[in-house]
């Protein structure tokens, strides 16, 4: 502006852009919904299903009820308005989330989580009818990414499982920010296409399965290399947000879909590391491709689409994990593959339709945000590797525990309490069954890393059912040899393995077979053969003469002392010392009547003491055995 005579020089006022409240609303809402889902799924298994005691069909119907109820929002939106539906869903979601923070397990936890899922879906239905399409891809994927980053930074133990004032304050602040953003988010006449809303449910499933924990990248570090895996996962989840910006600048939906399918396929075939990163980036790019342009003709289709996509989430998750308890007639790896193909097809179709999307430059600050988040996550999860140590005497203490994925009798996540209790017994060796390294079904927790951190021990994981579920050894004693043998299924759908370990105890070697039998009649002879091989202590020719090695067979054998399978193990030179030490029952934990968890020993070992403490951290009781080398 030029200055003229008699007129003062003026500078135009700088306009500050309005805060992107719709983006904040979606990120916070999706993060809260993901929090609730991480409680709903394990509560469904441990509280409603009682870990396999309830018929799977009944569990499926119960879960489906809470995903179908949100369809009542369709007529409600006609009677009132989509904006009212959005507000009602948001308030109910906040109430459920705060209620879960106060709940102490049991039926209240199950019902609050169930109602929270319904409320979250009602909120998303309203958003699909009222939110400007510009913010939707970044909001949906940003919410998934933010939830995953916080989940990782909290060492995979979410705030809902933590007591004290600080978690309460953090949750209350998030809920307040969420409600405030809902209040300030204006309704838009140009909502996002129905495609991106439909894709959210399948993307939630894939993000929960592949983007939630370091065990997806590396199953068994054994040395607590958590800083490196945490850094990689932080970069992975931040890539979800960065990919949305990339997708805004292109119409290459087909490339995003191709990478997504390839990443999921590689992960399901056992490839670690890179496939999870590729999957994370591809998810964000698919969301961007599916929602590149606002659709003024969408009407109510986006709302129905998001509810339909969440039914895909439920069906996909149920089918994938049901395969571990029932024979589906096909490999369950096909389920996430089919879901990935569905997301890819939506992205390709929407990308072709909306090639006129405006090209925008990705803000430079995205790179600094990604790097800062990754470094912060690495620092928060840093821990130096525990040092190995030796025993000078001839006695050592062993703990064997089926931890039921870390969920106690009340349905609460009890990983820290398990670690604190075990540490108080001062064990030299801890052997765990039903260890979960990140199943979406159980809330995406890494049981093993968390318990090992509490015990200050190194760990070795042995996959059984799949790459994230199995058995584990924790110890700081020198490990001379370790391996895992997959056991035959013998018609039972859940896989099993036998972890074979050779530890150095003082000047001696002790062999351990750590297992969780699913079909004892067929698997007991296989375990007996492994025990014989460990006991043989064969050495290469010319090295020397090997003597017999004492051996221990440990775990949930699903066999009582009087069952025929026990005779098979006894024929391998094993005996049951707990019979003479009180024969304590271990199952069920709340009223134990039978012992199906065992510590069997061979010649060369004597049980000095044994106990099955009455602790409520699982549906089994642990065994604590003090052993002496003869």
Q: What is the mean pLDDT of residues 154-167?
A: 90
Of 546 and 90, the one with more pLDDT: 90
What does the buried/exposed string (b/e) look like for 556-580 if buried means 16 or more CB atoms within 10 Å of the residue's CB? Answer: bbbbeeeeebbebbeebbbebbbee
What is the band of 109 on the pLDDT scale with cuts at 50, 70, 90?
Answer: very high
| Range with lowest mean pLDDT among 172-186, 221-235, 404-418, 465-479 | 221-235
Which one, of 400, 403, 427, lies nearest residue 514 by Cα?
Answer: 400
pLDDT over 60 (residue 8): no
Highest mean pLDDT: which of 175-179, 192-196, 245-249? 175-179
Q: Concatenated DSSP letters for 61-124?
A: HHHHHHHHGGGGHHHHHHHS-HHHHHHHHHHHHHHHHHHHHH--SHHHHHHHHHHHHHHHHHHH
Which pLDDT belongs to residue 195?
85
The first and second tokens of residue 359, run together, are 């090209």
Which pLDDT belongs to residue 369?
58
Rounded Cα distance between 249 and 343, Å, is: 20
Which pTM value belongs to this model? 0.88
Which pLDDT belongs to residue 496?
94
Rounded Cα distance between 45 and 405, Å, is: 11
Q: What is the mean pLDDT of residues 135-154?
A: 83
Q: Concatenated DSSP letters for 107-130?
A: HHHHHHHHHHHHHHHHHHHHHHHH
**Percent of the chain's residues with pLDDT above 90:** 54
Which pLDDT belongs to residue 39?
97
Q: What is the mean pLDDT of residues 434-449?
A: 91
What is the band of 284 on the pLDDT scale with cuts at 50, 70, 90?
Answer: low
What is the band of 398 on the pLDDT scale with cuts at 50, 70, 90?
Answer: very high
CB 623 within 8 A of CB 578: yes
Which one, of 347, 209, 324, lies nearest residue 267 by Cα?
Answer: 209
Which pLDDT belongs to residue 388?
83
Rounded Cα distance between 200 and 193, Å, is: 12
Rounded Cα distance between 206 and 602, Å, is: 46
pLDDT over 70 (residue 50): yes
- For the beta sheet containing 458-466, the strands, ordered from the edge strand earlier in sequence to the opposite edge, are 458-466, 469-475, 429-436, 395-402, 623-629, 605-611
Rounded Cα distance between 484 and 497, Å, is: 6
Which pLDDT belongs to residue 263?
75
Rounded Cα distance between 564 and 574, Å, is: 14
Of 50 and 85, the one with more pLDDT: 85
543 C-beta neighbours (distance < 10 Å), count: 8
Pairing of strands 429-436, 395-402: parallel
DSSP state of 594: B
Which pLDDT belongs to residue 352?
56
pLDDT over 60 (residue 618): yes
Helix residue spans in 323-463 (DSSP H): 334-353, 365-380, 415-424, 447-455
Which pLDDT belongs to residue 389?
85
Of 363 and 177, the one with more pLDDT: 177
What is the band of 358 on the pLDDT scale with cuts at 50, 70, 90?
Answer: very low
Q: What are phi and psi of 338, to 5 degrees?
A: -65, -40
Beta strands in 467-614 (DSSP E): 469-475, 479-487, 496-505, 508-516, 551-556, 597-601, 605-611
The CATH number corresponding to 21-380 among 1.20.1250, 3.30.70, 1.10.1760, 2.70.70 equals 1.20.1250
**CA atoms 446, 449, 453, 454: torsion sign:** positive
Q: What are phi and psi of 397, to 5 degrees?
A: -110, 135
Which pLDDT belongs to residue 95?
98
**Percent of the chain's residues with pLDDT above 70:** 77
Of 281 and 105, the one with more pLDDT: 105
User: Does residue 588 have a cis bond before it (omega within 30 degrees)?
Assistant: yes
Q: Say how many Å lie between the first and final Cα of the chain, rounded.
A: 97
Q: What are phi and psi of 601, to 5 degrees?
A: -130, 155
CB 93 within 8 A of CB 167: no
**How high does pLDDT run on average in the chain?**
83
Q: What is the mean pLDDT of residues 390-405?
A: 92
pLDDT over 90 (residue 571): yes
What is the band of 289 on the pLDDT scale with cuts at 50, 70, 90?
Answer: low
The CATH number corresponding to 395-629 among 3.60.10.10, 3.30.465.10, 3.30.70.1400, 1.10.10.10 equals 3.60.10.10
pLDDT tens digits, residue range 497-514? 999 999 999 888 999 999
Which one, of 138, 147, 71, lies nearest residue 309 by Cα?
Answer: 71
Which pLDDT belongs to residue 292?
57
359 C-beta neighbours (distance < 10 Å), count: 8
Of 300 and 248, the one with more pLDDT: 300
pLDDT over 60 (residue 416): yes
pLDDT tens digits, residue range 314-344? 999 999 998 888 888 888 889 999 998 888 8
Of 377 and 17, the one with more pLDDT: 377
Q: What is the mean pLDDT of residues 110-132?
A: 95
What is the band of 543 on the pLDDT scale with cuts at 50, 70, 90?
Answer: very low
| Range with lowest mean pLDDT among 163-172, 243-252, 461-470, 567-576 | 243-252
What is the band of 3 on the pLDDT scale with cuts at 50, 70, 90?
Answer: very low
pLDDT over 70 (residue 245): no
Which pLDDT belongs to residue 251?
54
CB 247 within 8 A of CB 137: yes
Of 542 and 454, the one with more pLDDT: 454
Rounded Cα distance between 608 and 489, Å, is: 35
For residues 520, 523, 528 and 533, what is the CA-based torsion angle, rounded to 10 degrees? -160
Rounded Cα distance between 538 and 546, Å, is: 6
Rounded Cα distance between 390 and 537, Å, is: 21
CB 293 within 8 A of CB 357: yes
How many residues are present in the chain?
630
Of 249 and 533, the one with more pLDDT: 533
3-class DSSP state of 489: coil
What is the band of 443 on the pLDDT scale with cuts at 50, 70, 90?
Answer: very high
pLDDT over 80 (residue 78): yes
Domains of the chain, residue spans: 21-380, 395-629
pLDDT over 70 (residue 216): no
Rounded Cα distance between 175 and 197, Å, is: 23
Q: What is the mean pLDDT of residues 526-553?
A: 77
Pairing of strands 508-516, 395-402: unpaired
Q: What is the mean pLDDT of residues 4-16?
A: 49
Q: How much helix, strand and coil, in percent to the nearest 5, is found in the chain?
A: 50, 15, 35
What is the band of 18 on the pLDDT scale with cuts at 50, 70, 90?
Answer: low
DSSP state of 172: H
Of 155 and 102, the one with more pLDDT: 102
Q: What is the mean pLDDT of residues 233-248?
A: 59
What is the band of 52 on the pLDDT scale with cuts at 50, 70, 90?
Answer: low
Which one, of 526, 507, 430, 437, lies nearest residue 476 by Cα?
Answer: 430
């Amino acid at each position: 502006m030029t200055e003229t005579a008699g007129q003062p020089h003026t500078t135009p006022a700088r306009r500050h852009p309005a805060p992107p409240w719709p983006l904040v609303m979606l990120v916070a809402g999706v993060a809260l919904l993901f929090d609730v889902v991480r409680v709903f799924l394990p509560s469904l298994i441990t509280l409603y299903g009682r870990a396999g005691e309830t018929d799977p069909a009944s569990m499926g119907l119960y879960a489906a009820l809470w995903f179908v109820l949100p369809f009542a929002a369709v007529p409600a939106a006609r009677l009132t308005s989509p904006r009212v539906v959005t507000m009602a869903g948001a308030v109910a979601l906040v109430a459920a989330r705060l209620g879960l923070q106060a709940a102490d397990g049991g039926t209240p936890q199950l019902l609050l989580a169930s109602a929270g899922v319904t409320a979250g879906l009602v909120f998303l239905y309203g958003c699909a009818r009222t939110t400007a399409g510009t913010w939707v891809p970044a909001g949906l994927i940003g919410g998934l990414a933010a939830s995953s980053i916080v989940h990782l930074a909290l060492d995979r133990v979410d705030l809902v499982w933590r007591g004290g004032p600080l978690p309460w304050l953090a949750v209350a602040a998030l809920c307040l920010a969420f409600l405030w953003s809902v209040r300030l988010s204006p309704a838009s006449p140009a909502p996002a296409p129905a495609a991106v809303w439909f894709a959210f449910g399948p993307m939630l499933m894939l993000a929960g399965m592949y983007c939630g924990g370091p065990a997806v990248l590396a199953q068994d570090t054994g040395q607590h290399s958590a800083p490196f895996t945490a850094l990689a996962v932080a970069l992975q989840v931040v890539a979800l947000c960065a990919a949305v910006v990339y997708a805004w600048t292109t119409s290459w939906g087909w490339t995003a879909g191709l990478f997504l399918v390839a990443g999921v396929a590689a992960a399901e075939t056992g490839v670690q590391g890179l496939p999870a990163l590729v999957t994370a980036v591809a998810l964000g790019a698919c969301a961007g491709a599916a929602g590149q342009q606002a659709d003024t003709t969408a009407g109510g289709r986006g709302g129905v689409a998001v509810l339909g996509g969440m039914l895909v989430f439920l069906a996909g998750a149920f089918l994938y994990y049901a395969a571990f308890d029932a024979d589906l007639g096909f490999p369950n790896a096909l389920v996430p593959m089919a879901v990935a193909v569905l997301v890819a097809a939506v992205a390709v179709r929407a990308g072709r339709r909306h090639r006129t999307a405006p090209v925008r430059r990705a803000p430079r600050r995205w790179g600094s945000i990604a790097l800062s988040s990754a470094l912060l996550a690495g620092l928060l999860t840093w821990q130096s590797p525990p040092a190995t140590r030796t025993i000078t005497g001839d006695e050592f203490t062993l703990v064997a525990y089926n931890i039921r994925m870390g969920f106690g009798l009340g349905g609460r996540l009890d990983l820290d309490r398990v670690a604190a209790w075990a540490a108080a017994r001062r064990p030299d060796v801890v052997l765990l069954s039903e260890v979960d390294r990140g199943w979406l079904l159980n809330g995406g927790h890494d049981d093993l890393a968390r318990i090992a951190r509490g015990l200050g021990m190194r760990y070795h994981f042995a996959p059984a059912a799949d790459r994230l579920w199995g058995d584990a050894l924790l110890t700081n004693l020198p490990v001379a040899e370790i391996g895992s043998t997959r056991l035959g299924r013998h018609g039972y759908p859940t896989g099993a393995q036998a972890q074979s370990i050779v530890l150095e105890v003082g000047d001696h070697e002790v062999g351990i077979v750590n297992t969780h039998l699913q079909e004892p009649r067929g698997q007991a002879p296989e375990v007996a053969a492994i025990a014989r091989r460990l006991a043989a202590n064969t050495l290469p020719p010319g090295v020397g003469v090997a003597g017999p090695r004492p051996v221990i067979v440990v775990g949930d054998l699903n066999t009582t002392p009087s069952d025929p399978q026990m005779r098979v193990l006894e024929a391998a030179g094993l005996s049951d010392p707990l019979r003479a030490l009180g024969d304590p029952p271990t199952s069920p934990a709340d009223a134990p009547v039978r012992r199906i968890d065992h510590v069997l020993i061979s010649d060369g070992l004597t049980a000095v003491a044994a106990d099955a403490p009455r602790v409520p951290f699982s549906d089994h009781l642990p065994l604590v055995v003090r052993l002496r080398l003869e």
